[in-house]
Amino acid sequence: MHHPKPDKPGPGQESVWGYPRPPRLEESQDSIVVELGGRVIARTTRSWRVLETSHPPTYYLPAAAFVDGALRPAEGASWCEWKGQASYFDLVAGDVVSPAAAWTYRAPTRGFLAIADTIAVMPAMVDRILVDDEVVQPQPGRFYGGWITSRVVGPFKGEPGTMGW
């Protein structure tokens, strides 16, 4: 198995290789804006970051951060070994629908109770997400929902050849 060589963080940066496994939950006051269909569908300065080795942070926003009608329950569920069972939402902005682009944990495991009923968004499935006015780059791989900004360095799980990490 290929072992990654972590990128060296610069001033004000974090390495995803310094994040723990199992993951850690951290409260955030970053300014978050989610846009879909040319509209702002969510905005907050209160969120939570899930930090896991080799993954850029995944942000969870309070449901109240989303405009009315932006969240529509979707079919399907998945299981996270750390957080429990996730359920999904379509994101809606007028006539624009991004299917199963967001998820929540209604009854997360004990270590993640703070994110119960908060909403995570898949960056690749919306127009853009801003963290403190910086456009988020999606974590590579369709399975992952991490948010890459200039504040984090990798390499990141999800890139070709990383499944064994």
Per-residue model confidence (pLDDT) at position 1 = 52
In this predicted structure, what is the pLDDT of residue 106? 97
For 25-72, how does the pLDDT look when each residue is reduced to its tens digit (9 = 90+)? 999 999 999 999 999 999 999 999 999 999 999 999 999 999 999 999
Written as six digits, the tokens of 54 are 């080799």
The encoded tokens of residue 99 equal: 């299917």
Prediction pTM value: 0.95
8 or 2, which is more confident? 8
Q: Cα separation of 58 and 105, whole Å? A: 13
Label residue 132 left, alpha or beta by phi (over 0 means left) and psi (-120 to 50 means alpha): left
pLDDT (tens digit, 9 = 90+) per residue, 129-146?
A: 999 999 999 999 877 899
Neighbours of 64 (CB within 10 A): 10
The span from the first CA to the last CA of the chain, in angstroms, equals 8
Does the pLDDT of residue 5 top 70, yes or no?
yes
- Mean pLDDT on 152-161: 91
pLDDT tens-digit readout, 110-134: 999 999 999 999 999 999 999 999 9
Query: What class has domain 14-145?
Result: mainly beta
Q: What is the pLDDT of residue 3?
A: 78
Res. 165 pLDDT band, cuts 50 70 90? confident
pLDDT at 45: 98
pLDDT of res. 73: 98
**pLDDT for 164:** 79
pLDDT average, residue stretch 74-79: 94
Dump the DSSP string for 81-147. TTTEEEEEEEEEETTEEEEEEEEEBSS--GGGGGGBT-EEE-GGGSSEEEETTEEPEEPSSTT---E
